[in-house]
Every structure is written in C-alpha cells, then in structure tokens.
C-alpha cells in the first residue's frame, strides 16, 4: 500500500514537473480473494514494480507516469471479475489490463468486457489451452505458456530419444486430462504412437487394473501425467514392481525431490520436465524483488512483471496509449530482432524505442511470444541417473 | 511356448495382483462382517481403525529397526504386529466403553450406531493424521521379491516376466492362517460358539447365560486383530497413507455386502469377487490373444471390455445385481 502511495506521489510530482496530461492508468485484475489469494500479492507487486520503474525513468511517451488500479477477479466468480473489469475500463479509464490469473475468469473477462471495449489484456498465469482459440481480435496475450506447450515439449523430448511408442496415464482432473490430450495430439502429429491413454484416480487403494491395461497395451515408456503425492507414485510403484515398465516420462506434476527420494535408482533412464528458466533475467528479478521487500520467486510474480512491462514498452513503440494501436506492437517488443532487455533495464528499452530502435524483451521469465500471443514457455528437462535428478537442459 | 507366454502374462497382471488385493479386502471385510453380525451395525470407522492399527505397527517397526532388530528376509513389521494389535484393541475397547456401550444400554436402533461410528471415524481419522501425518510412509523391509522379473526370465527362458513380490506372498499366507484360526475359534471354542449364538439370537443367548459384555469385548479384540493385520499387509504391499485407508472402506463394504453381511465365508468370497472384477473386466486382452492366435488374426486394438475408468462402476454393478437377485448376499448373510 505504501508503495502505491509513493508511486502516486511520485506520479503527481512528475506530472507537475512536466506539465503532462493525466497519468496513464493500468488495471491489475487478479484474484485478491479466492483460491489463488496467496499468489495474487506477489503477482501484483511484480506488475507494480515494472510500472514504478517506467514512471521513474520519465521516458515513456515524453514523461508520462503510470498509475496502477487494482481489481479483484476472485479467480472463480466470472460475474464479479467482469464487473471489476467493466469498472476499470469505463470509470477508471485504464489503458491496459494485467490479468487475470485463473483461466476461467480470464476467458469471461476477455469475451464480455475486453473485446467489446477494445482493451488489451495480458495474463501472467492463465494456462488453459482453450484460451489459445478464444476470439480476441489480437487484444489478448499471456506471459505464461499454454499447457498445450508442455505436450509439445514432452513429445520433442521423447522423439529425440528415439522413443516412438508410449503408454499414457493421467490423473483424472482438468490438469491431467488437458495435458494428456495436448501431449497425445502433439506426439501423434510427430509420428509417435500412444498405445493407450488411461485415467487413474488419486488416492485409490489399488492400481493393478490400470497397470494391467497399460502393460497389455505396451510401449517403450510410460508417461505419468499425475501428481507425485497422489496416484502418480502409486502407478509408478506398481509398474516397477510388476516389471511392466522400467522407464518413465514425468511431466511437471511429478518432477520433485519426493520422486527421487521414493524411487531412487529404480527410475534410472527416465526423463522429466517442469517449467523453469536459467536465463539471467530470472535471477536479476529476484534480487530486485527482495530489495523491494517481497518474494520474487512466488509463482507467476515474474510473469506479472513481464506482462506490465510488455504493455508499457508496446505503448512506447506505438507512440500511443490507445489499445487499438499499441496491441500490434506487443509481439514486436517481445521478440527478436532488437536489443535484449532484462528486468531493471526498462529505462534503456524506452530510450531505444524512443530513438526508433528495436528491442527484444527477455524479462524475468525469458519471454518469447508465439502466435496467438502466448509465451513459448520455458521448460527444464531433467533425467534420472544413479538415483539422482540431473538437469539436462532448458528449452 | 506361445500359450505359456499368454498364461504368464495373465498371471503377472491379473491373477497375482488380484489374489493379493482380494486377500487384503477379505480380511477387511471379515472385520466389517463380524461387527455387523454380532454388534448389528455397519462400522464406518473400520477403514480408519485399519489406519490406526497400521500406524501403531509402523511406529513400532521404526523402533525395532533403529534398535537393529530385523526379521531376516521377512518384513520387520510382522514382528511389530502384536504391539499394533494391542494398541488397536485398547483403542476399540476404549471407544466401546465411551461411545457404543451408552447406545447399547439405551437399546438404540442400528442407524444410531452407524451414525455414531461415522463420528468415531472422523475422530480416528484426525488422530492418525495428527500422530503420523498425512504423507506416504513406507515401512517394508526384507527381501522385496520372491520371484523377480529378471530371475524368472533367466530361469525359464520365457520373454514375459512373472513377478511375485514377497509382500504378496506374505499377504496370502497370513490371510489363510488368520482365516483358518478365526474359523477354528468361531466353530470349536466355547467363546466362539457363544459369539455365534449371540449373533443368531440375542435373547436366546442371554437366556442361556451368555454374558453379552464378554461377547462384545471378544468381538472388538478380534476386529482389532483383523483390522491391524489387513491394514499392515496392505501397507506393506502398497504404501501407508491415511487417506487411502479411508478410501478402502468402499471396496471393503462392497465385498462384505456381496458376500452377505454377517457371513464370514461370504466376506472372503466377496473380497475376491470385488478384486477380480476390478482387475479382469478392465484388462485388455491384446497381448494374451496375440500369443494364442496366428499372426494374421492378432488384434490391432486393445480388446478391452471396459476402460479402467469404469472399474469402480464394475464393482458396484456386481453389488447391485447381487442385491437384486439375492438380497442377503452370495452366502445368505443377514438382509441389509
């Protein structure tokens, strides 16, 4: 709160000095109440830090400052989220929106408010593959990858290892089903065969029937799209014990220290992936966050910083705060060619853009936007050797 | 050789796991059925009694392990069983004294007992989590395999593996021993006979001088033994997690009802019916048929009757069909 006040004071001061128009207002619509309420503060702080950085530089559109306006998406109540967004656009007059966090409300806000009002929205954390197909008139972007992306990553990893036939089991919920479908379509497109795609329930007493079905269908590897603390481990245990499979691929719900502790060298030769980046921006952002007094490693906080930064850089590139004109610049500033921009270098980026140059915003989460305006996604690929988890690379 | 391969595959993925799972369910269902037969209510706290007893066994096992005491190739947990049973028995007798005796004295209707047991379930549930936590605990030690995949391949020269885990073998052996002792006790000893008499006709049993409180005490003692053994065997074979034990309640009740509530033989049969139904009906026959049929006829599809999603539906279909045709269950238990 103190930070917002300071930012507003700073905003007022600079406004006076430059005798500019009203400050630019950016909306932050996140689930400040509801299931993601523990993550929202870190995300909002990230977005506001980017705004503050740009305000202080005094370079955006000849010295305009930025003011943040928060709205509550509630994460689950689409009606409340739409009302909050409606208020931000019509009464507060924001020029862009960072949000929302959960996929469901994000879709509702986009269709009901953002598109009719021609407002740009950049979500830091909505990962549902469904949003890729949403009718958005080029107004919607996200700095987090779609779960469909992970499906492609898994498919690539397996194909590169020469594995062309796998059995697939997933935890029976939206995450598991979505990921399993995404993987299956990517893998089959790449020429692989999914011999069976079988759901498993979490916390059940016995997985012999699932293992029986998976083993009868066969495959060179078993892909376990489940949770390590739930049925996923039960499936792996039963598969190892019965000799049905000796190697596995573990998506993000499974890769953890618990997995290594539990199975040790029994899963040697398996592979896995989870979101992660080794780009220098990630570390720089965390340092900046701890200096500002919040936890930068909190999930999606870096993505929120990047979302706000992208909106502001796009405005600078387009020379306008009108969403209709700057929406086309978002992809340009996010991707090559141009000078690479890390967190804390927004001032430099604004200067380059003001001079008519080109930037490639890398930011805190190694942003690379692909069509239709979502993060390409950065995943850490791991292997298992001698009972240890080994990082094999990033992609 | 080909049909042999098919048989080995079937044994590895259907028969061995289903027999082990069936034994675990049968022991659980025996406890449920005894309580129903003698105390005349469905004890919803049974799954959590299993969890509680197993927790006591695990804690004792850890103690033994840190003291350097092992049981050779067998799991140390078997040594810890008596302690676990004693702790579970103390808990059950204490619960009976505090909760069930009150309702028994008031001659409450069975549904009151059922609801009371639901409350007891939540208390046990919380207590177990409070002591050992909600996470997975593994406590199996000793030899892991009786027949390992590689050992079997090397010994027989077959392509298909057959795996028998030592915990599966122990489960079946212990289950057979426990069932034999239980039937001997119920049919041959004076106390066992008085329990059956009490179950058949309470008033007649009271008239002939049977002490009801003694019968109740013995019942709880046996139930503590059955629950702890079933829970420990299950935990050895899979893993211990309080939530999973709570979920076990469903297949255990299905087994007891299919077999006929109140009938010990029915409970055993029911356990195996449910276990085999879950595993066999959803098993794809692709591999097995591939070994039997000439290559030109080998199936491309999975030849799976039902997807594994439906395995619970299968057990409950069986339950409904049995109740429609024989409302008292396969072995003529008391009507539900």
> Considering CB atoms only, which of B165, B287, B311 is closest to A216?
B287
Mutating which of B137, B153, B308 best tests the A interface, going by the most A Cβ atoms within 10 A?
Answer: B308
Which residues are CB-contacts of B122 (< 8 A; sequence separation ≥ 6)?
Answer: none
pLDDT band (50, 70, 90) for residue A13: very low
| Record: contact B14-A212, CB cut-off 8 A | yes
Q: Which two tokens stand for residue A107?
A: 């879709």
Q: In terms of pTM, does the model score above 0.95?
A: no
> Considering CB atoms only, which of B13, B244, B275 is closest to A203?
B244
pLDDT(A7) > 60: no
Report yes or no: A373 and A331 within 8 Å, Cβ to Cβ: yes
| Record: contact A234-B239, CB cut-off 8 A | yes
Q: Residue B335: inside a domain, yes or no?
A: no
How does pLDDT run across A138-154, given as a tens digit for each residue? 999 999 888 888 899 99
How does pLDDT run across A289-309, given as a tens digit for each residue? 999 998 887 778 899 999 999
Give the pLDDT score at A6.
Answer: 54
Give the pLDDT score at B330.
Answer: 86
Nearest CA-CA partner of A245 in A198, A280, A304: A198
Does A342 reach chain B within 8 Å, measured CB to CB? Answer: no
Q: What is the arithmetic mean of pLDDT over A251-276?
A: 84
Domain count, chain B: 1
Q: Residue B14: inside a domain, yes or no?
A: yes
Say what the ipTM of the complex is: 0.76
pLDDT band (50, 70, 90) for residue A4: low
Per-residue DSSP letters for B63-113? HHHHTT--BTBB-THHHHHHHHHHHHHHHHHHHIIIIIHHHHHTT--HHHH
| Record: contact A172-B309, CB cut-off 8 A | yes
pLDDT(A92) > 70: yes
Give the pLDDT score at A283.
Answer: 87
Q: Which helix (H) or strand (E) holds B275?
A: helix B264-280
> Considering CB atoms only, which of A209, A233, A244 is closest to B279?
A209
Mutating which of A170, A198, A200, A206 best tests the B interface, going by the most B Cβ atoms within 10 A?
Answer: A206
Q: Residue B312: inside a domain, yes or no?
A: yes
pLDDT(A9) > 70: no
Give the residue on A whose Cα is nearest the Cα of B22: A206
Distance of alpha carbon A19 from its chain centroid, rounded? 38
Does A343 reach chain B within 8 Å, measured CB to CB? Answer: no
| Record: contact B283-A209, CB cut-off 8 A | yes
How does pLDDT run across A162-188, given as a tens digit for each residue? 999 999 999 887 678 888 999 999 999
CA torsion, points A127, A133, A139, A142, in degrees to nearest 10? 20
N-terminal to C-terminal alpha carbon distance within chain A: 38
**Cis (ω within 30 of 0) for the bond into B303?**
no
pLDDT(A36) > 90: no
User: Shortest Cα distance from A333 to chain B (angstroms)?
Assistant: 46
Report yes or no: B216 and B21 within 8 Å, Cβ to Cβ: no
Does A213 reach chain B within 8 Å, measured CB to CB? Answer: yes
Structural domain boundaries, residue B250: 2-325
Give the pLDDT score at B70.
Answer: 83
Q: Residue B228: inside a domain, yes or no?
A: yes
Distance of alpha carbon A391 from its chain centroid, rounded? 21
Q: pLDDT below 50 — which residues of chain B? A: 336
Q: Which helix (H) or strand (E) holds A364?
A: none
> Considering CB atoms only, which of A205, A209, A242 is closest to B308?
A209
Does B240 reach chain A within 8 Å, measured CB to CB? Answer: no
Instruction: Select the more confidently predicted residue: A140 or A201.
Output: A140
Q: How many CB pairs below 8 Å do chains A and B form together? A: 100
Q: Residue B331: inside a domain, yes or no?
A: no
CA–CA distance, A159 with B124 (Å, rounded to integer): 49
**CATH code of the domain in which B138 resides:** 1.10.3470
Report yes or no: B223 and B31 within 8 Å, Cβ to Cβ: yes
Q: In chain A, what are the domains?
A: 2-144+278-375 (3.40.50.2300), 148-268 (3.40.50.2300)
Q: Name which of A51-55, A126-130, B106-110 the model is least confident about.
A: A126-130
């Amino acid at each position: 709160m103190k930070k917002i006040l300071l930012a507003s004071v700073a905003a007022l001061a600079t406004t006076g000095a430059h005798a500019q128009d009203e400050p630019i207002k950016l909306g932050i619509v996140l689930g400040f109440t509801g299931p993601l309420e523990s993550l929202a503060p870190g995300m909002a702080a990230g977005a506001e830090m980017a705004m503050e950085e740009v305000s202080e530089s005094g370079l955006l559109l000849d010295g305009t400052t930025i003011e943040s306006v928060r709205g509550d998406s509630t994460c689950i109540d689409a009606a409340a989220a739409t009302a909050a967004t409606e208020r931000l656009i019509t009464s507060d007059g924001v020029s862009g929106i960072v949000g929302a966090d959960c996929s469901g409300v994000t879709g509702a806000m986009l269709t009901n408010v953002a598109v009719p009002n021609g407002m740009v929205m950049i979500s830091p954390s909505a990962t549902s593959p469904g949003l890729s197909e949403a009718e958005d008139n080029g107004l919607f972007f996200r700095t987090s990858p779609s779960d469909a992306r992970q499906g492609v990553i898994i498919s690539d990893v397996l194909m590169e290892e020469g594995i062309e036939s796998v059995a697939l089991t997933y935890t029976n919920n939206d995450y598991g089903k979505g990921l399993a479908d995404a993987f299956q379509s990517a893998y089959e497109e790449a020429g692989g065969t999914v011999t069976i795609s079988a759901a498993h329930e979490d916390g059940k007493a016995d997985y012999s029937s699932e293992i029986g079905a998976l083993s009868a269908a066969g495959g060179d590897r078993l892909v376990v799209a489940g949770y390590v603390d739930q049925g996923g481990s039960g499936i792996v245990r039963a598969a190892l014990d019965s000799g049905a499979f000796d190697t596995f691929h573990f998506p993000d719900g499974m890769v953890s220290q618990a997995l290594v502790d539990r199975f040790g060298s029994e899963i040697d030769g398996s592979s896995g992936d989870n979101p992660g980046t080794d780009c220098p921006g990630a570390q720089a952002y965390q340092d900046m966050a701890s200096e500002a007094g919040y936890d930068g490693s909190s999930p999606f906080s870096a993505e929120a910083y990047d979302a706000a930064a992208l909106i502001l850089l796009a405005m600078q590139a387009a020379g306008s705060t009108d969403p209709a004109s700057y929406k086309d610049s978002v992809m340009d500033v996010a991707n090559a060619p141009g000078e690479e921009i890390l967190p804390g270098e927004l001032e430099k980026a604004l200067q380059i853009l003001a001079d008519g140059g080109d930037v490639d915003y890398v930011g805190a989460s190694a942003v690379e936007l692909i069509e239709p305006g979502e993060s390409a996604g950065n995943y850490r690929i791991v292997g298992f050797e001698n009972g240890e988890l080994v990082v094999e690379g990033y992609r | 050789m080909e049909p042999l391969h098919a048989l080995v595959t079937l044994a590895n993925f259907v028969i061995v796991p289903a027999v082990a799972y069936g034994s675990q369910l049968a022991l659980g269902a025996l406890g449920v059925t005894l309580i129903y037969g003698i105390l005349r209510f469905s004890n919803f706290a049974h799954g959590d009694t299993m969890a509680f007893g197993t927790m006591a066994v695990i804690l004792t096992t850890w103690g033994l392990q840190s003291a350097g005491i092992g049981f050779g190739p067998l799991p140390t947990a078997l040594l810890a069983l008596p302690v676990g049973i004693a702790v579970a028995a103390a808990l059950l007798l204490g619960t009976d004294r505090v909760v069930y005796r009150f309702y028994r004295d008031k001659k409450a209707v069975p549904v009151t007992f059922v609801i009371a047991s639901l409350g007891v379930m939540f208390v046990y549930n919380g207590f177990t989590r409070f002591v050992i936590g909600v996470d997975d605990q593994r406590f199996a030690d000793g030899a892991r395999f009786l027949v390992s995949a590689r050992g079997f391949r090397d010994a027989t020269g077959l392509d298909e593996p057959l795996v028998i885990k030592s915990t599966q073998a122990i489960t079946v052996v212990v289950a057979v021993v426990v069932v034999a002792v239980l039937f001997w006790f119920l049919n041959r000893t004076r106390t066992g006979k008085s329990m059956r008499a009490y179950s058949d006709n309470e008033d007649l049993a009271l008239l002939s001088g049977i002490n009801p409180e003694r019968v109740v005490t013995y019942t709880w003692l046996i139930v503590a033994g059955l629950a702890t053994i079933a829970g420990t065997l299950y935990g050895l074979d899979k893993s211990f997690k309080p939530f999973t034990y709570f979920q076990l309640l469903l297949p255990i009740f299905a087994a007891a009802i299919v077999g006929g509530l109140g009938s010990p033989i029915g409970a055993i049969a029911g356990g195996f019916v449910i276990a085999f139904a879950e595993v066999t009906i959803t098993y794809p026959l692709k591999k097995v048929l591939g070994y039997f049929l000439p290559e030109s006829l080998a199936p491309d599809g999975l030849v799976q009757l039902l997807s594994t999603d439906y395995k619970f539906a299968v057990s409950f279909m069986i339950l409904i069909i049995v109740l429609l045709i024989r409302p008292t269950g396969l072995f003529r238990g008391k009507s539900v």
